[in-house]
Amino acid sequence: MKRDNISIYKGDWKLLIEGLILKCCEQIKARRTTAAIFHILTGKKSIQTVQDTHLYDLALFYGIDKSLRKNTFHELIRHLEQKALISVDESSCFQLTSQGDRWLLEHESRLALNHFNGLSYHALAPVFSERLLLLVQILTNSSMQNYSFIPIVDKKTVQVWVKSFYKTLKWNETTYLHYLHDELHTLLSMLPDKEASIFVDRLTGYRSYGKSMQQLAYRYQIPSMDIKLVWTCIIHRMLSVIQSKPTDYQLLHAIIQDAEQRSFITESAKHTHHLLQRHYSVETIAAMRKLKRNTIYDHIVEIALVDSTFPVSSFVTDEQYNEIIEAIERTKTYSLKQLKDAVADEISYFQIRLVLATIKTKKVKS
């Protein structure tokens, strides 16, 4: 396959995270507070945040910077205000300024933000990268008969999985090491040189330790706040190729086969879904699970966000659905309060949220 020469990071831009924030501002268009962006980037597991990612077409960025601290985020917002790229009103709602629009128009293509795939990979990416890094360390050391080394990944769950997986390869580890090398070589050849080098420098082998994030940032002259995002994007790109061609990357795909991204954000919603499929009512499910009815409603909205076949008509009549859609088009907003004021009194907040879940990334005509 032809190498992709579009790099996620270019030296002429200082902070990738700032570009991400500006892109989020452009998509949301003053309809949410700055907290909404923070929750999307850090992958908050709430119905509102997941719904925002769909409604404002920001699924690519969900959970791509889970370690971002709130005070750091607020500093970034203030910095963007000082540069006159965004404006924030008294209620903390924000929008791009004309200068911010021009900046994004000029720089967005260079940032290649479309290579992220957060909603699909926010949970899978760290599992894949940690398992792979530890597996490479074990295979390269064991092939040299060195069995005494400090694991570079200290998570017990990762160590247990890799140890079990290694046992299935141990009988012919030299051959599997070659397979892994060949698959990684083919995969990395599709990435820009800089990203491929960053990935290789992160690997730990026999008598060779991979570089830390701080060391990578220094070597490649990438701001420390950005290097984690660059790494995340590299892993997302690798996962996309592996999942699209699993037979070409059988060993790499085996690393994620038991951990492929689940459809549901929470196990609790999955449990509710099973009960709904058995035709239990909301009231019965709430009683059985000792949960509030509104919690079950949250689960239903969550299910509708990821299951396009979910029977919304069980909770919203055709007339109510059409009335809510008309209100969205008339008010040009996704605000629950404004939509509730624009529809009949008997239509509940839950029904509005459910309809919003079904339209997902459908844009309101402006």
| pLDDT over threshold 60, residue 10 | no
- Tell me which amino acid residue 64 is: I
Q: Are 154 and 239 found together in one domain?
A: yes
Residues 6+ apart with CB under 8 A from 151: 134, 137, 159
pLDDT reported for residue 366? 35
The rounded percent of the chain whose pLDDT value lies above 70 is 93
- Report if residue 324 sits inside a domain: yes
Lowest-confidence range among 176-190, 252-266, 279-293, 303-317? 252-266
- Report if residue 5 sits inside a domain: no
Q: What does each C-alpha distance from 19 to 13, 25, 61, 79, 104 come to in angstroms?
A: 9, 10, 12, 12, 8
Q: Cα–Cα distance between 364 and 255 in angstroms, integer? A: 41
Q: Cα–Cα distance between 55 and 282 in angstroms, integer? A: 26
Nearest partner of 178 among 219, 140, 229, judged by Cα: 140
- Report if residue 70 sits inside a domain: yes
Residues 6+ apart with CB under 8 A from 34: 73, 74, 77, 88, 92, 94
Whether residue 196 contacts residue 189, with contact meaning beta carbons closer than 8 Å, is answered with yes
Whether residue 133 contacts residue 231, with contact meaning beta carbons closer than 8 Å, is answered with no
Q: Are 155 and 86 found together in one domain?
A: no
pLDDT reported for residue 71? 96
Q: Are 184 and 79 found together in one domain?
A: no
Q: Are 243 and 324 found together in one domain?
A: no
Region 317-328: what's the mean pLDDT? 96
Which of 259, 277, 298 represents a domain boundary (last residue)? 259
Q: Are 250 and 312 found together in one domain?
A: no
pLDDT reported for residue 257? 92
pLDDT reported for residue 364? 36
Q: Are 254 and 139 found together in one domain?
A: yes
Q: Are 174 and 104 found together in one domain?
A: no
Q: Cα–Cα distance between 43 and 261 in angstroms, integer? A: 14
| pLDDT over threshold 50, residue 4 | yes
What b/e readout covers 322-351, taking b as 16+ CB neighbours within 10 angstroms?
ebbbebbeeeeebeeeebbebbeeebeebb
Q: Are 180 and 104 found together in one domain?
A: no
pLDDT reported for residue 167? 94
Band (7; pLDDT cuts 50, 70, 90): low
- Report if residue 6 sits inside a domain: no
* CATH number, residue 49: 1.10.10.10
Using one digit for the tens of pLDDT, what is the confidence trace for 125-162?
999 999 999 999 999 999 999 999 999 999 999 999 99
pLDDT reported for residue 8? 52
Q: Cα–Cα distance between 183 and 186 in angstroms, integer? A: 5
pLDDT reported for residue 360? 64
Using one digit for the tens of pLDDT, what is the confidence trace for 218-239?
999 999 899 999 999 999 999 9
Q: Are 113 and 129 found together in one domain?
A: no
Predicted structure pTM score: 0.84
DSSP secondary structure letter of residue 85: S
Helix spans in 203-262 (H) = 213-220, 224-244, 250-256
- Say how far residue 254 (Cα) sits from the centre of its chain: 21
Which structural domain range is residue 294 located in? 267-359
Q: Are 293 and 212 found together in one domain?
A: no
- Report if residue 211 sits inside a domain: yes
| pLDDT over threshold 80, residue 14 | no
Which of 215, 231, 259 represents a domain boundary (last residue)? 259
Which of 64, 99, 119 represents a domain boundary (last residue)? 119
Q: Are 131 and 249 found together in one domain?
A: yes
**Domains in the chain, number:** 3
pLDDT reported for residue 290? 96
Q: Name the β-bridge partners of 95.
A: 87
Band (3; pLDDT cuts 50, 70, 90): low
Band (365; pLDDT cuts 50, 70, 90): very low
Q: Are 134 and 221 found together in one domain?
A: yes
Nearest partner of 65 among 205, 276, 228, judged by Cα: 228
If you average pLDDT over every residue of the chain, what do you get? Answer: 90
Q: Cα–Cα distance between 182 and 364 in angstroms, integer? A: 47
Using one digit for the tens of pLDDT, what is the confidence trace for 50-106?
889 988 999 999 999 999 999 999 999 999 999 999 998 887 788 899 999 999 988
pLDDT reported for residue 136? 98
Whether residue 192 contacts residue 4, with contact meaning beta carbons closer than 8 Å, is answered with yes
Q: Around 194, how many Cα atoms within 13 Å sit in the side-chain half-sphere?
A: 17
pLDDT reported for residue 117? 95
Terminus-to-terminus CA distance in the chain, angstroms? Answer: 40
- Report if residue 4 sits inside a domain: no
* CATH number, residue 327: 1.10.10
| pLDDT over threshold 50, residue 342 | yes
- Report if residue 1 sits inside a domain: no
Region 310-318: what's the mean pLDDT? 93
- Report if residue 340 sits inside a domain: yes
